[in-house]
Amino acid sequence: MFTYANPNRFMHLARRLTLPVWGLSLACLSIGLFMAFSAPADYQQGMTVRIMFIHVPAAWMSLFVYTFLTVSSIFGLVFRHPLGHVAAKSAALIGAGFTLITLITGALWGKPMWGTWWVWDARLTSVLVLFFIYLGYLAIWTAIEDPLQAGRVSSVLAIVGFVNVPIVKFSVDWWNTLHQPASVSRFDAPALHSDYLWPLLVMALGFQLLFFALWLLRMQTEIFKQKLRVRRLGLVETSNGTAG
């Protein structure tokens, strides 16, 4: 983990990884989408069942990315990993995006199935709260100018906000909700027919790779930005030095 603490070494790795990860992700997503559309229509839900292949992976990612963000924040705050805060910041906007996709596709799926865009049940509400926590996290980065300071303050919030992740995951078990309980990650066999399970898993892999591809890109941008900032500050100092 600390081998790549050096930004230059990380950049070297990131540059080589970006293209393959993008390629794999697009391959998985196209195969997954093809499988999703060739899967038989559900006897009850008809065509709308295909929304699942976007909705469920996005929902998994919204939780995965928040966990990733919290772990990176801990690395930044506790172990002083130089790239911890950058990693967390780069993940946040992508995670917020996945959460928004989850909410929107959920609403689109809810309208034909439940007859309403939105219900205030525990799962939907906790995912909405997750989205708000992402927004609060991002707000700190825009409000505090110094990246080191913003990194430390935002990681404390990220760790506090992690309380919500198990609530989202287990909301369907703890409360009797309209949203159905987990049907894939169960101790016994998944309660999903293999016609649906396989496209879903391929799509999930595609989403996971898509996250890493986007994250690598944002990491590189972020590191460039910070280098630019340091260089600008250096220029200001030298010009002040010659003036004085």
Q: Report whether 108 contacts 51 (CB < 8 A).
A: yes
**Shortest Cβ 147–another protein spacing (Å):** 13
CA quadruple 177, 181, 187, 191: dihedral sign: positive
Site stretch for another protein (CB under 8 A), options 23-31, 142-150, 218-226, 228-236: 142-150
Amino acid letter at 188?
A: D
Helices (H) and strands (E) in the chain, counts: 7, 0
- Report the residue from 39, 52, 94, 133 that binds another protein according to the rule CB under 8 A: 133
**Shortest Cβ 129–another protein spacing (Å):** 5
**Shortest Cβ 85–another protein spacing (Å):** 11
- Report the residue from 13, 19, 41, 156 that binds another protein according to the rule CB under 8 A: 156
Cα–Cα distance measured from residue 34 to residue 87, given in angstroms and rounded to the nearest whole number = 33
Closest residue by Cα to residue 36 from 198, 180, 169: 198
Site stretch for another protein (CB under 8 A), options 33-41, 100-108, 158-166, 212-220: 158-166
Q: Report whether 209 contacts 21 (CB < 8 A).
A: yes
Site stretch for another protein (CB under 8 A), options 32-40, 108-116, 125-133, 183-191: 125-133
Cα–Cα distance measured from residue 132 to residue 128, given in angstroms and rounded to the nearest whole number = 6
Binding status of residue 8 toward another protein by CB under 8 A:
no
- Report the residue from 152, 177, 179, 197 that binds another protein according to the rule CB under 8 A: 152
Could you tell me the two tokens for 118?
Answer: 């939105």
Binding footprint of another protein on the chain (CB under 8 A): 77, 125, 129, 132-133, 135-136, 139-140, 143-144, 149, 152-153, 155-157, 160-161, 164
